[in-house]
């Protein structure tokens, strides 16, 4: 069901309008006009569902669900754990989070409950099961929206104990913990588990292993809580499908781990379109990268769970989406594997924090303003493209993105404490490939590399032994591997590898790391080509790794500093494949020509011809999407693209037919 059509929907908060039956009536009528097929219901409705402890009021929701269903609209029913009622926070203080400084929060805000608290779990179970019993078998309910944007951490005593238990389980003994965390350094050996405390500004904040394991634990505990919520529902409705809404570049949860526990990955996307400091193409690529990451966490179609049809109210400046942008962003999501285009929110709230956040229906309640009409256009386009739903993307290139690697690398002191720019590094590879029209997935170190022609490991500082073996096998059996500087430095516990590095890959890459020099912002080192296939010049920055060749052929070399002449780009044949090393972070201009060379004989771009800058081509199954990121029309000969226009083609028997 969730992949049968391209769903069009929004967060719907009728609990804010229970005193206005006329508005609720109008909502259904307007939803039909806008081509809405699904709504996410009751995300923050706990206080209305259970106004007093154990007193449930579900009739209003029953009425809403029945009416939606009668109008042909399906429901993505939320568990309301994201924001708890005041009575609960007051009566049971343990449900409120404790900050790193060990101060317990007051009631307020949202997404700030303790994930460990048995009382919170019990209360969530009770309300979730009320919902499941009453609505779990309602034909309108096709999906469960588990909580909202899980995140954050709690440092209460219950969480400290849970952390210690998690460590016991992971390491088996305290000696193993001490070894893994290298506690001999500064003489911080633990002699009893009870001495271990989560990181604190006034306590331990310098022990890399502890910081890393705390991040692992927080991710684990959040997922554990989510599983608890899921299982409360599945106890009543075993076949219930569940999703969670994930977030942009979110650091605190390993979404690959989380995705294993859900049926549908979804995410909330709020790019600042029309930002004066970057091109719309850059904004689009940044957003596309996240779409592809969310596709990758399950390796199958996802939903764009939230987006604004017009503005947000929490960004520094609220920029409206210009005419055409709503359709552009909807189709971009579909092109990258989304089977749902949903908004936050259906109707603009009247008061409180989000009263100026965009919505399909604004305070004026009209259906003839630009936002509403453009939303209805999206509805029509999604219907027309319905057969795209469920189709998968072809495996072409994979970028290794691994949360634990990020945590470990960013938690370490040096080689560049002013910022390593991990996402920036990833973006350079991603954007170059996307501009060429090569499909990119992301894989973690638990991932499967089969089917890919090209694997890129940017800043894979923490390289697990088992993953190094996967990279070796991948290359030996004919794959093309690209590894950057600052890779293969440390193992799973963030203990540095002894001996030559990049650990496990020196023979694959045909070189070894000698030194790594940090660059200040704006500081660069000139690099020049020694092979005609490379760009003649490029600038290296951020980090400049100095390597000694052990069989690899240099393609570019540094041209200044004491390491002039040492390789900046090198290639090495390995088995049936080849492996490239990029020893520094180059200026952006380097990457497109580099990847054109790398991909030339191994991967086919989405669009057969050449495209002007600003037009992006994306392939999903047999469908090819051309999107114009420019504010001006683009003439492609037989085809013209309007400003922010999209054309969709279907490949049939080798020929392309335009279907939108
Ligand atoms: C999301 C959140 C929504 C809403 C939205 C506003 O992060 O899940 O509830 O607050 O932001 O942009």
* Model pLDDT for residues 408-447, shown as the tens digit of each residue: 999 999 999 999 999 999 999 999 999 999 999 999 999 9
Rounded to the nearest angstrom, the distance between the alpha carbon of 575 and the centre of ligand 1 is 49
Residues designated as active site: 149, 306
At residue 327, φ and ψ (nearest 5 deg) are -65, -40
- 537, with CB counted inside 10 A (0-12, 13-18, 19+), is middle
Provide the pLDDT for residue 500: 98
604: nearest Cα among 479, 439, 362 = 439
Q: Which H or E run includes 656?
A: strand 655-658
- Does pTM surpass 0.85? yes
- C-alpha 290, offset from chain centre: 5
Among 247, 249, 268, 348, residue to substitute to test ligand 1 (most atoms within 8 Å of Cβ)? 268
Mean pLDDT of the chain: 98
| 459: helix, strand or coil | coil
* pLDDT over 90 (residue 300): yes
- Residue owning the nearest CA to atom 3 of ligand 1: 344
DSSP state of 392: P
- Grade residue 126 by pLDDT with cuts at 50, 70 and 90: very high
Atom of ligand 1 nearest to the CA of 353: 10
- H/E stretch holding 326 reads helix 325-335
Q: Quick: pLDDT tens for 302-320.
A: 999 999 999 999 999 999 9
The number of the ligand 1 atom at minimal distance from the alpha carbon of 312 is 12
- When pLDDT is averaged across residues 142-170 and rounded to a whole number, the result is 98
Q: Give the nearest ligand 1 atom to 313 CA.
A: 12
Task: Check residue 445 and give its pLDDT.
Answer: 98
CA nearest ligand 1 atom 12, residue: 312
CA of 336 to the centre of ligand 1 (A): 22
Give the DSSP H or E segment for 21.
helix 21-33
pLDDT tens figures, 443-496: 999 999 999 999 999 999 999 999 999 999 999 999 999 999 999 999 999 999
Name the CA radius of gyration of the chain, rounded: 26
For residue 366, the SS3 value is coil
Running DSSP on this structure, what letter comes out for residue 538?
E
Q: Residue 148 Cα, ligand 1 centroid: separation in angstroms?
A: 9
- In angstroms, the CA 449 to CA 475 distance is 10
Q: Tell me which residue has its CA closest to atom 5 in ligand 1.
A: 344
Residue 638's pLDDT is what? 87
Evaluate the omega torsion of the peptide bond into residue 471 and state whether it is cis, within 30 degrees of 0: no
User: pLDDT tens digits, residue range 170-181?
Assistant: 999 999 999 999
Averaged pLDDT for residues 630-639: 94
User: Which of these, 384, 394, 392, 393, lies nearest to 5 by C-alpha position?
Assistant: 384
Compute the distance from residue 314 Cα to the ligand 1 centre, in Å: 9
Residue of 151, 243, 354, 355 best suited for mutating to test ligand 1, as the one with most atoms within 8 Å of CB? 354
Task: Give the CB-side neighbour count of residue 223, counting CA atoms within 13 A.
Answer: 17
Could you read off the pLDDT of 99-117 as tens digits, one per residue?
Answer: 999 999 999 999 999 999 9
Query: If you measure from the C-alpha of residue 11 to the centroid of ligand 1, how many angstroms do you get, rounded to a whole number?
Result: 9
- Cis peptide bond N-terminal to 502, omega within 30: yes
Residue 362 class from Cβ within 10 Å (0-12 exposed, 13-18 middle, 19+ buried)?
middle
**Whether 622 contacts 652, CB under 8 Å:** yes
| Structure tokens that stand for 50 in this block | 């259970």
Cα 84 off chain centre by: 26
Over 90: is that where the pLDDT of 591 sits? yes
Pairing outcome for strands 537-549 and 584-586: antiparallel
Pocket test for ligand 1, best of 44, 146, 303, 306 (most atoms within 8 A of CB): 306
How many Cα atoms are found within 13 Å in the side-chain-facing hemisphere of 98? 16
Cβ contacts of residue 19 below 8 Å, gap of 6+? none
**Using one digit for the tens of pLDDT, what is the confidence trace for 192-214?**
999 999 999 999 999 999 999 99
Determine contact, residues 349/355, Cβ cutoff 8 Å.
yes
Distance CA 297, CA 300 (A): 8
pLDDT band of residue 353 (cuts 50, 70, 90) is very high
CA angle 605, 406, 96 (to 5 degrees): 120
For the beta carbon of residue 194, count every other beta carbon within 10 angstroms: 10
- CA quadruple 193, 194, 196, 198: dihedral sign: positive
Q: How far is the CA of 312 from the centre of ligand 1 (A)?
A: 9
Instruction: Look at ligand 1, atom 4, and give the residue with the nearest C-alpha.
Output: 344
Angle at 350 (CA atoms; ends 347, 356), nearest 5 degrees: 75
Nearest residue (by CA) to ligand 1, atom 10, is: 354
623 φ, ψ (degrees, to nearest 5)? -105, 135
Sign of the four-CA dihedral 433, 439, 445, 449: negative
Residues with CB under 6 A from ligand 1: 148-149, 268, 270, 306, 312, 344, 354, 357
């Amino acid at each position: 069901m969730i992949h049968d059509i391209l769903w069009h929907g929004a967060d719907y908060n009728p609990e804010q309008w229970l005193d206005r039956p006329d508005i609720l009536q109008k909502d259904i009528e307007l939803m039909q006009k806008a081509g809405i097929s699904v709504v996410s219901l009751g995300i923050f409705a706990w206080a209305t569902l259970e106004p007093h402890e154990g007193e449930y009021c579900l009739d209003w929701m029953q009425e809403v669900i029945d009416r939606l269903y009668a109008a042909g609209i399906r429901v993505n029913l939320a568990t309301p754990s994201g924001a708890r009622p005041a009575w609960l926070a007051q009566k049971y203080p343990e449900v409120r989070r404790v900050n790193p400084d060990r101060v317990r929060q007051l009631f307020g805000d949202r997404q700030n409950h303790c994930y460990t608290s048995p009382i919170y779990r019990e209360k969530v179970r009770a309300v979730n099961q009320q919902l499941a019993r009453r609505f779990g078998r309602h034909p309108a309910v096709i999906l469960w929206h588990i909580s909202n944007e899980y995140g954050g951490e709690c440092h209460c005593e219950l969480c400290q104990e849970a952390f210690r238990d998690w460590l016991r389980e992971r390491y088996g003994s305290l000696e193993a913990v001490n070894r893994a965390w290298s506690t001999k350094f500064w003489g911080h050996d633990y002699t009893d588990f009870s001495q271990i405390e989560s990181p604190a500004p006034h306590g331990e904040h310098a022990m890399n292993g502890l910081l890393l394991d705390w991040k692992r634990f927080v991710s684990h505990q959040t997922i554990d809580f989510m599983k608890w919520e899921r299982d409360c529902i599945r106890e009543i409705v075993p076949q219930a499908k569940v999703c969670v809404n994930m977030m942009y570049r979110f650091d605190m949860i390993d979404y690959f781990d989380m995705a294993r526990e859900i049926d549908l990955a979804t995410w909330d996307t709020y790019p600042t379109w029309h930002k004066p400091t970057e091109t719309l193409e850059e904004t689009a690529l940044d957003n596309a990268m996240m779409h592809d990451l969310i596709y990758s966490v399950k390796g199958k179609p996802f939903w764009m769970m939230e987006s604004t049809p017009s503005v947000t109210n929490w960004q520094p400046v609220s920029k409206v989406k210009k005419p055409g942008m709503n359709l552009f962003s909807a189709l971009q999501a579909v092109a990258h594997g989304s089977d749902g285009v949903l908004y936050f929110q259906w109707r603009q709230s009247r008061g409180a924090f989000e009263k100026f956040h965009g919505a399909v229906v604004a305070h004026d309640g009209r259906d003839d303003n630009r936002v509403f009409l453009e939303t209805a256009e999206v509805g029509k386009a999604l219907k027309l493209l319905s057969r795209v739903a469920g189709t998968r993307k072809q495996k072409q290139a994979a970028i290794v993105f691994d949360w634990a690697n990020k945590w470990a690398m960013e938690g370490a002191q040096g080689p560049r404490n002013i910022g390593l720019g991990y996402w920036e590094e990833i973006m350079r590879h991603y954007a170059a490939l996307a501009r060429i029209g090569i499909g990119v997935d992301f894989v973690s170190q638990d991932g499967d590399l089969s089917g890919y022609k090209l694997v890129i490991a940017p800043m894979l500082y923490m390289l697990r032994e088992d993953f190094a073996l996967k990279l070796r096998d991948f290359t030996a059996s004919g794959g093309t591997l690209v590894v950057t500087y600052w890779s293969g430095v440390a193992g799973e516990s963030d203990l540095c590898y002894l001996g030559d590095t990049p650990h496990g890959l020196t023979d694959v890459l045909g070189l070894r790391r000698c030194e790594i020099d940090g660059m200040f912002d704006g500081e660069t080192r000139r690099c020049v080509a020694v092979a005609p296939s490379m760009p003649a010049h490029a600038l290296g920055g951020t980090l400049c790794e100095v390597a000694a060749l052990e069989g690899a052929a240099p393609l570019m070399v540094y041209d200044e500093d004491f390491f002039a002449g040492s390789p900046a780009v090198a290639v090495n044949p390995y088995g049936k494949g080849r492996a490239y090393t990029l020893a520094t972070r180059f200026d952006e201009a380097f990457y497109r020509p580099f990847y054109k060379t790398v991909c030339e004989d191994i991967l086919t771009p989405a669009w057969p011809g050449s495209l002007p800058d600003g037009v992006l081509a994306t392939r999903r199954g047999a469908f090819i999407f051309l999107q114009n990121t420019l504010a001006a029309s683009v003439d492609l000969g037989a085809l013209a693209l309007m400003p922010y226009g999209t054309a969709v083609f279907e490949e049939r028997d080798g020929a392309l037919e335009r279907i939108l």
